[in-house]
Amino acid sequence: MVGLATVFGAGGGTSSYSEVEQTDLIVMWGSNARAAHPIFFHHVLKGVRNGAKLYVVDPRRSETAQWADLWLGLDVGTDIALSNTIAREIIHAGLANRGFIERATSNYEAYAASVEEWTLERGSAVTGVPAGAIRELAHAFATAPTAQLCWTLGITEHHNGVDNVLSLINLALLCGHVGRPNAGLNPLRGQNNVQGGGDMGALPNRLPGFQDVEDDAARAKFDAAWGSVIPSRNGRNLTQMFEAMSEGSLTGLFVVGENPAQSEADVSHAVHLLESLDHLVVQDIFLTKTAELADVVLPGSASWCEAEGTVTNSERRVQRVRKAIDPPGGARDDIAIIVELARAMGHDWPNRSSEDVWNELRSLSPMHRGMTYARLEELGGIQWPCYSEDALEPTFLHGRLWAERPEDRGRLAPFSVVVDEPPVESCTPEFPLRLTTGRRLDSYNTGVQSGGFSSPLRFGETVDVSPEDAASLGVADGEVVRIASPRGAVTAPVRVDPALRPGLVFMTMHFPDEVNTNLLTIDAVDPKSGTAEFKAAAVRIERLEAAVAGD
């Protein structure tokens, strides 16, 4: 979101799912949507069946890549090198959309100069992708009448995730694949309301409606509505909070619906910091590992089926969640908990329904103003922006960039000069393998929710290894091995997976109680987004007999 907000001023994907069905070319970059976003992939498959070409950029030949016309299996963390190489090829082939660049963008000359060193030969050498494949994607993307560029955590869960996103936005700007029907940029959000959480201001630099905390006019509006004075500076993101805990300047924490004691990279360090807090309050529907560390646990209700409200999806569609069942005894509605907390702090907040809260949001957030509960009901959700109760906006964003009159185009979209940086942790003779992490179809994050049902597809945690590495390590499918990184070690069975290239191993984070993968991951963080580099750690794999013999 930081990347999209930086370039376009709006922190959301620019297209709609239906446009993916109508586009001419789809690039899935760092996204295994077939497993992680299966119903989005239905729209992709509709597009493919309507004739769209599908290109998949992923270190693994994933379930998604198996559907591709062309799979570009790049080395982990070389996304910017690949993107810059594609850009140079497009420019040198004369395929850049000069009209759009001149009309709607800025900083092109500096960008073009910055990618000049990325010849196909160099790009191929750095990324591991054959030069011909890079050239084919470059030409196909640039010449497609419309194209959709989609990405997920394979782009963002890096120490330079925002730069990765900016590098993809550059490609769309270069070819004019944004601001038109069926052409755009789609970040697929990993959690059901991660888009809505940000839109509602659950970010340290945003007010509800994605309005800037450091914008005096925006803040004044909220000050007046709330009869309060909002701090004028950005707060801390999750990573900065952990840093502050480490320094001792943050000593109390209120965690709502998150399980950092299992989900953080370098998790043993995170647990240590949580344990050292003066006061930890956890509000959750489960007694998670984080809740077990808490001084106070507030049993909440499941927002998606025990409460009323809204969530926002990856196509900016605000949809209603509704109460279908009563929460277990003792668990309370999240709004009621917040109101009670305010009262305990001496503020006499009234009891509010979710619709009351929503209408307050509408009064303060222009992009949500037209979304009454009645309209959300009638239309099956509404995409933002929706400024008026009488109208809907186009399904895509930033059409202004194509306006004839300069004054209608608004702020030009800047190209970003982004520099290729390898992952923080290099592979070494001691830790020669690259570990990347991701999801499987039937499981989700730390397994707190997905562990509740019995899946015939589930086989527990494994360390997925290429056939070549399995042979050179002398390990067999199903053999339990020790996986070590500079931070810790776990044991897990080997799963030989021909989707992996030599040197790359894959694990999930779904079974932390059995195999705590995040003991291995590195907490190197993107300073701009606060996202950790879950996708790139260095590890070695040891046979257990060898490890025992070595000890």
Type and span of the H or E element at 504: strand 504-507
Determine which residue in the list 181, 208, 488, 503 makes contact with other proteins, applying CB under 8 A.
181
Determine which residue in the list 320, 352, 400, 528 makes contact with other proteins, applying CB under 8 A.
320
If one asks whether residue 245 binds other proteins (CB under 8 A), the answer comes out as no
Q: Closer to other proteins at the Cβ: 345 or 457?
A: 457
Q: How many residues bind other proteins (CB under 8 A)?
A: 68
Q: Closer to other proteins at the Cβ: 123 or 299?
A: 299
Q: Name the minimum Å distance from CB 330 to other proteins.
A: 5
C-alpha–C-alpha distance, residues 191 and 178, integer Å: 25
Interface positions, 253-292, toward other proteins (CB under 8 A): 285-287
Q: Name the minimum Å distance from CB 410 to other proteins.
A: 18
Q: Name the minimum Å distance from CB 395 to other proteins.
A: 5
If one asks whether residue 451 binds other proteins (CB under 8 A), the answer comes out as yes
Type and span of the H or E element at 473: helix 467-473
Q: Closer to other proteins at the Cβ: 180 or 482?
A: 180
Count of C-beta atoms within a 10 Å radius of residue 541: 21
If one asks whether residue 305 binds other proteins (CB under 8 A), the answer comes out as yes
* Contact region with other proteins (CB under 8 A), list: 135-143, 269-277, 300-308, 503-511: 300-308
3-state SS, 142-168, equals: HHCCCEEEEECHHHHCCCCHHHHHHHH
Q: Closer to other proteins at the Cβ: 325 or 549?
A: 325
Contacts of 271 (CB under 8 A, 6+ apart): 261, 289, 293
Tokens of 286: 């489960």
C-alpha–C-alpha distance, residues 492 and 542, integer Å: 11
Interface positions, 347-406, toward other proteins (CB under 8 A): 380-381, 394-396
Tokens of 347: 């503020």
Binding mask 498-517 for other proteins (x = CB under 8 A): --------------------
Contacts of 54 (CB under 8 A, 6+ apart): 25, 26, 28, 44, 47, 48, 67, 68, 69
- Asked if residue 276 lies in contact with residue 269, where contact means CB atoms within 8 angstroms, the answer is no
- Asked if residue 70 lies in contact with residue 137, where contact means CB atoms within 8 angstroms, the answer is yes
If one asks whether residue 53 binds other proteins (CB under 8 A), the answer comes out as no
Q: How many CA atoms lie within 13 A of 275 on its CB side?
A: 8
Burial class (CB in 10 A: 0-12, 13-18, 19+), 453: exposed
Interface positions, 195-214, toward other proteins (CB under 8 A): 195
Type and span of the H or E element at 106: strand 105-106
C-alpha–C-alpha distance, residues 36 and 28, integer Å: 12
C-alpha–C-alpha distance, residues 164 and 142, integer Å: 19
If one asks whether residue 455 binds other proteins (CB under 8 A), the answer comes out as yes
Q: Closer to other proteins at the Cβ: 346 or 380?
A: 380
Binding mask 457-486 for other proteins (x = CB under 8 A): x-----------------------------
Determine which residue in the list 59, 123, 201, 299 makes contact with other proteins, applying CB under 8 A.
299
* Contact region with other proteins (CB under 8 A), list: 169-177, 239-247, 448-456, 491-499: 448-456
If one asks whether residue 24 binds other proteins (CB under 8 A), the answer comes out as no
Q: Is the N-terminal amide bond of 385 cis, ω within 30° of 0?
A: yes
Q: Closer to other proteins at the Cβ: 172 or 321?
A: 321
Q: Name the minimum Å distance from CB 45 to other proteins.
A: 5
If one asks whether residue 453 binds other proteins (CB under 8 A), the answer comes out as yes
Q: Closer to other proteins at the Cβ: 368 or 540?
A: 368
DSSP state of 208: T
Q: Closer to other proteins at the Cβ: 376 or 481?
A: 376
Determine which residue in the list 191, 251, 268, 388 makes contact with other proteins, applying CB under 8 A.
191
Distance of CA 89 to the CA centre of its chain: 28
Tokens of 157: 């869960």
- Phi first, then psi: give them for residue 151, nearest 5 degrees: -145, 165
Burial class (CB in 10 A: 0-12, 13-18, 19+), 418: buried
Q: Closer to other proteins at the Cβ: 248 or 380?
A: 380
If one asks whether residue 454 binds other proteins (CB under 8 A), the answer comes out as yes
Range list of β-strands (E), 241-396: 252-256, 279-284, 296-299, 309-312, 317-321, 382-383
Q: Name the minimum Å distance from CB 455 to other proteins.
A: 6
C-alpha–C-alpha distance, residues 168 and 149, integer Å: 8
Binding mask 403-442 for other proteins (x = CB under 8 A): --------------------------------------xx
The residue ranges that bind other proteins (CB under 8 A) are 17-19, 22, 36-40, 42, 45, 49, 181-182, 188-195, 285-287, 297, 299, 302-306, 311-315, 317, 319-326, 328-331, 380-381, 394-396, 441-442, 444, 448-457
